[in-house]
């Protein structure tokens, strides 16, 4: 195959950064845009952006029906998340445990822009470390169960990670991830979760439920994105961050608070990546002064990281992911593990994962009629 | 929508087959590097609106069934379905490539359609009145659909009903009908002039063939139909002929809702659309051991004066 077409590779990112470009797309561009958006789980978001910019008229009808449909699905999912959050909050209230929502569920309950056109999966909550056991017990009484894990996986979660194994509701199958901090306990970054809990604030749609303070919310999402090893949802997460920054950025004092919190919470590098890549790839209006001040957070080899993230923060679609991108993704994958686990824990962990994979544990459908029970 | 004129020559680029196929409300770009599969696509999808692979076209979905590369392919030739780099199924033998493609097209429509309801059901139409035939696979739905189609009913679909959220009309796909095991011979007798693929081993055991859709149904693929009947077919060896029993509307609704992909995501609009279909339709269960008797039962149901 010929060299990857740079413009095609950048299509979705370019459109998200400057939606006005939509007016100039050819039929072929629309074709590729929809495919890249599907691969990135950004179809509903794209619809939302198009509506916001009043550009529905420039979208061909054959494309718009997909966008509008996915957007309606996203609205329905957000509605379901609201309901499910209340069901999760109730037993925790009884247990006397304060609930702080993280990520997608927090965007919904705080009525923030990234809740628009987004898909949701798990409900992530942060509770004080001392309350984890009682929170888990009350959730189990209310119908959530942990998946059966072998001893290794159980230990992986409880001793090393920052959450208990996922809790799945026995009837509705909703998944709750109970966290007591936002980075793994084994990670290089040491973060005091109490600072986050202290700064948490009531959510817009239900003040009895809390969400992280604006700067903390952004830093948490950034840490998640840039220290994680998998980037199938990388561009989606970057787009979430872009919307959060555009939204909170209008509040006086937000940008300086963001830098101050990055210092306090020891999340300096994620803050640097966050500001650099949202501005670079999605045109986020980060003040020049903030970018300049953030330079002190830069990693050791910024140009290397630039190249890796430029490849990783693309749609996971064949038009964007060639050999080079796969190499970059592999390097970021090993970097993430290096950040999370010290070597003496990492090596046995990876060996075990590769053995389990070799045993063919992955489940895929058989062709025929699609399975309804999923 | 593909509006380009049909091109007489097969579109092959660099040893690969690739073609835009207008299949009802969707445009698929279908490609393969397996020549026998390409030949089968040419035959089975003959008459569908097409366009050249080189045309700068919009397609709703780009799908491919291609050989699995690598050392293993020397020992075992395998084919895998791919949609934009995603491979939802395990590879199968290249001899089963058509099954891979057809299953992949079903999967793609069911998993990626949000602008209409996608129901696991057959659909046929006559005189402007459509029968929706909901049923689990292997229950005789495809057999009865194929049988009706060869008695003058128009084929809309043997597997997926597409129900508009706007006006409750049914869209056609008119794709090939999959027939398994005993139904292969039953249909070969009922429709001796229709073209079918040679049998290939089905993943769930037994054999499967694909029946070419009638030219008239293909020519009218963009013509929608109004639902008028719900007939839930069930093959049962020990019944005499065919028994048609009226079915309660709540039961019909429940069966259709359970057969609708991602039903809950459509919310109230999905509920009302499906309720509208059931409301407008006369609903029956048809249990049969004999195809002719089942077709006659459908004739009786659809010709009798309407009781609401």
- Closest residue, chain B, to A35 (C-alpha): B84
Strand positions, DSSP E, B75-159: 78-83, 92-93, 116-126, 129-134, 154-157
Q: By the 8 A CB rule, do A36 and A67 touch? A: no
Nearest to A73 among B99, B203, B265 (CB): B265
Domain range summary for chain A, segments of one domain joined by +: 6-355
Name the minimum distance, in Å, from the CA of B300 to any CA of chain A: 30
State the Cα angle at B266 between B230 and B105, rounded to 5°: 70
Question: What's the CA dihedral at B112, B118, B122, B128 to 10 degrees?
Answer: -120
What angle do helix axes A27-39 and A43-52 make, rounded to 10 degrees? 120
Sequential DSSP letters for B216-255? HHHHTTT--BEEEEEEEEEE-TTSSSEEEEE--HHHHHHH
The C-alpha atoms of residue A19 and residue A57 are separated, in whole angstroms, by 13
Span of A158-167, B41-50, B163-172 with lowest mean pLDDT: A158-167
**How far A354 CA sits from the closest chain B CA (Å)?**
19
CA distance A28 to chain B (A): 6
Give the residue from B109, B265, B266, B269 with the most A CB atoms within 10 Å of its CB, the best one to mutate.
Answer: B265
State the pTM of this model. Answer: 0.88
Cβ–Cβ below 8 Å for B1 and A62: yes
Chain A, nearest residue to B179 by Cα: A368
Rounded CA-CA distance B204/B194 in Å is 25
Closest partner residue to A368 (CB to CB) among B56, B103, B113 is: B103
Distance from CA of A363 to the nearest CA of B (A): 9
- Across the interface, of B59, B86, B264, the residue whose CB is closest to A31 is B59
In this structure, the dihedral spanned by the alpha carbons of residues A239, A241, A242 and A244, taken in order and rounded to 10 degrees, is: 130
> Which residues in chain B touch residue A66, judged by CB atoms under 8 angstroms apart?
60, 112, 114-115
Please name the member of A69, A77, A369 whose beta carbon is closest to the beta carbon of B137. A369
Cross-strand bridge partners of residue B164: B116
Q: Alpha-carbon distance A188 to A341, whole Å?
A: 8
Q: How many angstroms separate the CA of residue A8 from the nearest CA in chain B? A: 14
Q: What is the pLDDT of residue B1?
A: 36
B103–A369 C-beta distance less than 8 A: yes
Q: With CB atoms and an 8 Å threshold, state whether B92 touches A370.
A: no
Do residue B106 and residue A368 have CB atoms under 8 angstroms apart? Answer: yes
For the record, the structure tokens of A179 come out as 């966290």
Interface of B with A (CB under 8 A): 1, 27, 56-60, 62, 81, 84-90, 92, 99-100, 102-104, 106-107, 110-115, 120, 137, 159, 203-204, 258-259, 261-262, 264-267, 269
pLDDT by residue for chain A (374 residues), tens digit each? 344 578 888 999 999 999 999 999 999 999 999 999 999 999 999 999 999 999 999 999 999 999 999 999 999 999 999 999 999 999 999 999 999 999 999 999 999 999 999 988 899 999 998 999 999 999 999 999 987 767 767 666 666 566 678 899 999 999 999 998 887 755 666 778 899 999 999 999 999 999 999 999 999 999 999 988 888 899 999 999 999 999 999 999 999 999 999 999 999 999 999 999 999 999 999 999 999 999 999 988 888 899 999 999 999 998 888 888 888 888 888 888 777 666 566 666 666 665 554 443 333 455 555 554 33
Q: Name every residue in A having a CB less than 8 A away from some CB of B.
A: 26-28, 30-31, 35, 38-39, 60, 62-63, 65-66, 68-70, 72-73, 76-77, 79-80, 316-318, 321, 364-370, 372
- Which band of pLDDT confidence, cut at 50, 70 and 90, is reported for residue B9? very low
Verify whether the Cβ–Cβ distance B262 to A38 is below 8 Å: no
- The domain made up of A6-355 has a fold known as Beta Polymerase; domain 2 (3.30.460)
Q: What is the rounded average pLDDT of the residues B176-204?
A: 92
pLDDT value at residue B146: 96
Residue B30 in this model has a pLDDT that exceeds 50? yes
- The answer to whether the Cβ–Cβ distance between A28 and B56 falls below 8 Å is yes
pLDDT of res. A346? 60
B141 contacts in chain A (CB < 8 Å): none
Chain A residues inside the 8 Å CB shell of B88:
364-365
The DSSP call for residue B33 is S
Best residue in B1, B2, B31, B84 for a mutation probing chain A (most A CBs within 10 Å): B84
SS3 B163: strand
B261/A68 touch (CB, cutoff 8 Å), yes or no: no
> Rounded to whole angstroms, how far apart are CA atoms B135 and B47?
29
Residues of B in contact with A60 (CB under 8 A): 58
Q: Which pLDDT tens digit goes with each residue over B66-88?
A: 998 876 666 778 999 999 989 99
Q: How many CB pairs under 8 A join A and B?
A: 100
- What is the ipTM, given to two decimal places? 0.89
Chain A residues within 8 A of B59 when measuring between CB atoms: 31
Whether residues B266 and A70 touch (CB distance < 8 A) is answered with no
Residue of chain B nearest A370, judged by CA positions = B107
Q: Are A221 and A107 in contact (CB under 8 A)?
A: no
State the nearest Cα–Cα gap between A344 and chain B, in angstroms. 34
Q: CB–CB of A73 and B259 under 8 A?
A: no
**What average pLDDT score do residues B200-223 get?**
94
Nearest to B110 among A60, A69, A370 (CB): A370
Please give the residue of chain A at the shortest CA–CA distance from B135: A369
Considering only CA atoms, give the Rg of chain A: 21
Q: What is the rounded average pLDDT of the residues B19-23?
A: 92
């Amino acid at each position: 195959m010929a060299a990857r077409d740079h413009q095609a590779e950048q299509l979705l990112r370019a459109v998200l950064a400057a939606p006005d470009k939509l007016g100039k797309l050819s039929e072929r561009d629309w074709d590729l845009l929809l495919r890249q958006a599907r691969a990135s789980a950004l179809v509903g978001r794209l619809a939302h952006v198009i509506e916001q910019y009043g550009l529905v008229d420039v979208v061909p009808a054959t494309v718009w029906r997909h966008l509008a449909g996915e957007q309606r699905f996203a609205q329905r999912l957000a509605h379901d998340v609201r309901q499910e959050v209340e069901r999760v909050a109730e037993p925790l209230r009884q247990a006397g445990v304060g609930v702080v929502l993280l990520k997608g569920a927090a965007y919904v309950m705080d009525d923030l822009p990234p809740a628009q056109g987004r898909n949701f999966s798990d409900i992530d909550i942060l509770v004080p470390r001392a309350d984890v056991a009682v929170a888990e017990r009350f959730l189990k009484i209310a119908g959530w169960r942990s998946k059966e894990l072998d001893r290794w996986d159980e230990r992986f979660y409880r001793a090393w990670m920052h959450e208990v194994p996922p809790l799945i509701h026995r009837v509705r199958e909703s998944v709750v991830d109970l966290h007591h901090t936002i980075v793994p306990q084994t990670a290089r970054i040491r973060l005091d979760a109490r600072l986050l809990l202290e700064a948490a604030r009531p959510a817009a749609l239900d003040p009895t439920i809390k969400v992280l303070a604006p700067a903390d919310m952004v830093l948490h999402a950034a840490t998640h994105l840039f220290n994680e090893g998998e980037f199938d949802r990388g561009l989606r997460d970057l787009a979430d961050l872009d919307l959060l920054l555009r939204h909170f950025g209008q509040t006086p004092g937000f940008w300086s608070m963001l830098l101050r919190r990055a210092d306090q919470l020891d999340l300096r590098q994620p803050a640097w990546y966050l500001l650099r890549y949202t501005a670079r790839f999605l045109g986020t209006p980060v003040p020049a002064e903030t970018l300049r001040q953030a330079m002190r957070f830069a990693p050791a080899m910024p140009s290397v990281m630039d190249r890796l993230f430029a490849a990783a923060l693309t749609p996971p679609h064949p038009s964007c992911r060639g050999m080079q991108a796969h190499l970059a993704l592999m390097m970021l994958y090993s970097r993430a593990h290096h950040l999370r686990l010290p070597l003496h824990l990492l090596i046995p962990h990876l060996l075990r994962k590769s053995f389990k994979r070799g045993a063919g544990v992955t489940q895929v459908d058989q062709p025929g009629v699609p399975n309804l029970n999923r | 929508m593909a509006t380009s004129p049909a091109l007489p020559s097969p579109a092959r680029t660099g040893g690969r087959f690739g073609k835009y196929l207008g299949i009802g409300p969707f445009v698929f770009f279908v490609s393969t590097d397996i020549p026998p599969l390409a030949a089968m696509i040419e035959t089975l999808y003959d008459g569908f609106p097409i366009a050249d692979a080189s045309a700068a076209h919009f397609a709703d979905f780009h799908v491919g069934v291609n050989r699995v590369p690598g050392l293993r392919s020397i020992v075992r030739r395998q084919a895998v379905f791919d949609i934009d780099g995603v491979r939802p199924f395990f590879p199968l033998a290249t001899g089963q490539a058509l099954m891979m493609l057809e299953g992949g097209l079903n999967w793609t429509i069911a998993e990626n359609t949000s602008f209409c309801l996608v129901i696991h059901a057959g659909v046929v139409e006559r005189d402007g009145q459509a029968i929706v035939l909901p049923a689990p696979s292997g229950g005789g739905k495809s057999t009865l659909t194929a049988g009706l189609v060869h008695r003058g009913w128009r084929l809309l679909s043997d597997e997926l009903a597409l129900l508009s959220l706007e006006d409750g009309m049914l869209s056609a796909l008119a794709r090939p009908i999959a027939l398994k095991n005993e139904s292969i011979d039953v249909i070969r007798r009922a429709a001796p002039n229709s073209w079918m693929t040679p049998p290939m081993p089905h993943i769930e055991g037994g054999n499967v063939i694909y029946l070419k859709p009638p030219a008239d149904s293909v020519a009218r693929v963009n013509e929608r139909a109004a639902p008028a009947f719900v007939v839930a077919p069930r093959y049962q060896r020990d019944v005499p002929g065919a028994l048609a029993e009226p079915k309660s509307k709540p039961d019909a609704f429940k069966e259709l809702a359970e057969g609708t992909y991602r039903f809950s995501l459509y919310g109230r609009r999905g509920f009302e659309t499906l309720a509208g279909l059931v409301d407008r339709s006369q609903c029956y269960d048809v249990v049969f051991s004999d195809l002719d008797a089942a077709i006659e039962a459908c004739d009786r149901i659809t010709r009798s004066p309407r009781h609401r």
